[in-house]
Amino acid sequence: DAKTTQPPSMDCAEGRAANLPCNHSTISGNEYVYWYRQIHSQGPQYIIHGLKNNETNEMASLIITEDRKSSTLILPHATLRDTAVYYCIAVSSGAGSYQLTFGKGTKLSVIP
Amino acid sequence: EPEVTQTPSHQVTQMGQEVILRCVPISNHLYFYWYRQILGQKVEFLVSFYNNEISEKSEIFDDQFSVERPDGSNFTLKIRSTKLEDSAMYFCASTATGGWTEAFFGQGTRLTVV
């Protein structure tokens, strides 16, 4: 079972920041928090990942609490094309192959 | 941007027939994966493949399934005798190294078993 919990759905106004929360109170110290999204049954798309520090890339920012029990994915200026299911996934940092365990994610609807 | 390519995009097959789903991973990637998603359900891990052998597989990946990297570019998933419940989107993914890097997913093959 997934080690993360997310709200099933959220709405966000176009142009505003979308803040997607994720609880992962049971992840271990060597587990990264990864975010993926899936736009309308397309293949999942990598967004960002982090371990302890906050991370930012061209798509989003990831804020991880100091106790690592939760995190927030921020899409700074949501567009209609950001409407998708967003998955927060705990991934072991062990070397070798790894599998992603997808939960149900958060369905983000960006509203004009 | 590099991409994982899957063919065909849609395959319809009769129950009991064999199907082969094809994937071309990103060229310098070393780890390859198959996932599936039954309509309306979660994305589920099937198998991972590294150094020409299976490194992990899920309970779904039973004897009816097999994977192969027949040449330097293709990665295939074979279902020997399809069942109705095999109807799903099948996604191929690849990563450069295991563990810490993001996976690139293909756009999927929609398999419909009739």
pLDDT tens string B24-44 = 999 889 899 999 999 999 999
Average pLDDT, chain B: 93
Mean pLDDT for B13-18 is: 98
Mean pLDDT for B43-52 is: 92
Q: Is the pLDDT of residue A64 over 70?
A: yes
Instruction: Please answer yes or no on whether B45 and A45 come within 8 Å at the CB atom.
Output: no
Chain A contact set for B49 (CB, 8 A): 97
CA distance A91 to B38: 23
Instruction: Please answer yes or no on whether B42 and A102 come within 8 Å at the CB atom.
Output: yes
Q: Between these two residues, A3 and A94, which has the higher pLDDT value?
A: A3
For B92, the closest chain A residue by CA position comes to A43
Instruction: Please answer yes or no on whether B43 and A102 come within 8 Å at the CB atom.
Output: yes
B18 to chain A nearest CA, in Å? Answer: 24
CA distance B17 to B65: 13
Residue B28 has a pLDDT of 87
B53 to chain A nearest CA, in Å? Answer: 11
CA distance A32 to A20: 17
3-state secondary structure A41-99: CCCCEEEEEECCCCEECCCCEEEECCCCCEEEEEECCCCHHHCEEEEEEEEECCCCCCC
Mean pLDDT for A47-53 is: 93
Q: Is A5 helix (H, G, I), strand (E, B) or coil?
A: strand
For A39, the closest chain B residue by CA position comes to B107
A24 φ, ψ (degrees, to nearest 5): -145, 60
Instruction: From A11, A10, A9, A14, select the one nearest A78 (Cα to Cα).
Output: A14
Q: Is the pLDDT of residue B107 over 60?
A: yes
